Structure 1
Amino acid sequence: MKKILLSLVALATFGFVNAQSRDKGTIEITPKIGISSFAEQNEENFTNSNSGVELGVTVDYYFNNRWSLRSGLVADKMGGKYRDGQSFLYEDQLNYLSIPINANWHFGSTRKWNLNFGLSPSFLTSAKFNANGTTIKLPKNALESFQLGFSYGIGYKIEITEKFGLLIDAQFFNGLTNINKATDERILNAGYSFNLGGVIQL
């Protein structure tokens, strides 16, 4: 028991010693990969959610050791699933490239936690419709090519060396603009992702 307590104390001490403050002008690049789940929200409810892989890279520019500006490029599969009765399944397979513009607050005694929030412009890169295994490409006049969303998330950084660490985070997206061009029905994308990234300090 004594050895376990000593090990925990040593680990905690290492964490505090290894805590890094970020000066103004510090830049961190974080390539990341994750799993996502998105659905479409219409005027009445949400569709069933679909899952996909999130890929991206974000860049943090620090103003001080508590605040940074985060942006980058993030690729997501959005859309949603619909059921017609018990067996027939429809799915909108919408791929977007997003450019988040988020304020990022670094908190905790070692600044390893972060909370980010802001706007996320997204551009439609491909749109397909799947009906029970048969996939077709959606026409350009069916969907808006641009959407604006509110994005936010929370993460924790594990520092490995002075210049490298691992980031575990959860990110959330709520669409603010209608993606539907085909009818008068208002449809929004909404979802979340869980990610793992490598933090590289330049």
Structure 2
Amino acid sequence: MKKILSTLIIAVTFCTTAFSQTQSKGIEAGINIGYSSSTAISNNATNSTYKTGFNAGLSAENYFSDRWGLKVKVIYDQKGWKEGYITDYNGHLVFTDYNLDYVTVPVMANWHFGRTRNWYLNFGPYIGFLVNAKAPGANLDLKDYINSTDAGLALGIGIKFKIAEKTKLFIDYDAQAGATDIIKNNTGSSISLSRASFNVGLNF
């Protein structure tokens, strides 16, 4: 947890610095909150269903031109899935939800389009660091069963509205497709995470 807090403090410092450099360095900072839906993806059919959650993030984008930039985010992500099975400490098969919280870091190319460049499309890899892993129906801490990192591809599209001289409101949709198995020492079919989110935030 100390490492996670340190990461967030560094991210806040970075984005604060970015704010002060927006005019001279072409860097734009941002904050956002979002409502997300996630589930487990496997080669075999599973009984899992979508789980809803919230996320909150910080971002910084370095503009190379009026069309292209490099965007980095730090997001606290609530992921997981509902209606899964797990064996509890007593050896009983229990029907439960999987609540997995990550600090996710996407690094994406950001393409701005439209007459005023207020639309944007971004894409790139992400890595997620596991913070909490619970199975409330089984009263289990899942950290011993879930890999500490998750990685995959991120994709998003959104639009910005100027609301002040140096402030823009944005609304966007983003998705994450996991490319790694989240289960430790998995001998069965690989299980990855899929997550989509609608977000609203401010750029400075």
| TM-score, length of structure 1 as denominator length | 0.80
**What does 1:46-125 align with in structure 2 at a 5 Å threshold?**
47-82=48-83, 89-125=95-131
Identity fraction in percent: 34
CA shift in 2, pair 1:24/1:41, >3 Å: farther
2:194 matched to 1:171? no
Output the aligned Cα RMSD: 1.9
2:40 matched to 1:40? yes
Residue from 173, 179, 201 that aligns with 1:197 = 201
What are structure 2's unaligned runs of at least 5 residues? 1-21, 86-93
- Provide, for residues 134-165 of structure 1, a one-character-per-residue CA deviation record: whole Å limited to 9, x for no partner: 5321242x111011110000000001122101
> Displaced runs of 4+ in structure 1, greater than 2 A?
22-25
| Bigger Cα Rg | 1
TM-aligned CA deviation for residue 24 of structure 1: 8.7
Q: Which residue of 2 aligns with 1:150?
A: 153
What is the distance in 1 between the residues matched to 2:101 and 2:72?
19
Would you say the 8 A contact 1:23–1:64 is kept in 2? Answer: no
What is the distance in 2 between the residues matched to 1:42 and 1:166?
37
Number of aligned residue pairs? 173
Letter in 1 for 2:140: I
CA shift in 2, pair 1:71/1:139, >3 Å: closer
What is the distance in 1 between the residues matched to 2:168 and 2:61?
14
What are structure 1's unaligned runs of at least 5 residues? 1-21
CA shift in 2, pair 1:170/1:24, >3 Å: farther
| TM-score, length of structure 2 as denominator length | 0.79
Residue 164 of structure 2 aligns to a residue in which SS? Answer: coil
CA shift in 2, pair 1:45/1:117, >3 Å: farther
- Provide, for residues 20-51 of structure 1, a one-character-per-residue CA deviation record: whole Å limited to 9, x for no partner: xx999311111000100000112224620101
Would you say the 8 A contact 2:132–2:143 is kept in 1? Answer: no
CA shift in 2, pair 1:23/1:62, >3 Å: farther
Would you say the 8 A contact 1:117–1:153 is kept in 2? Answer: yes
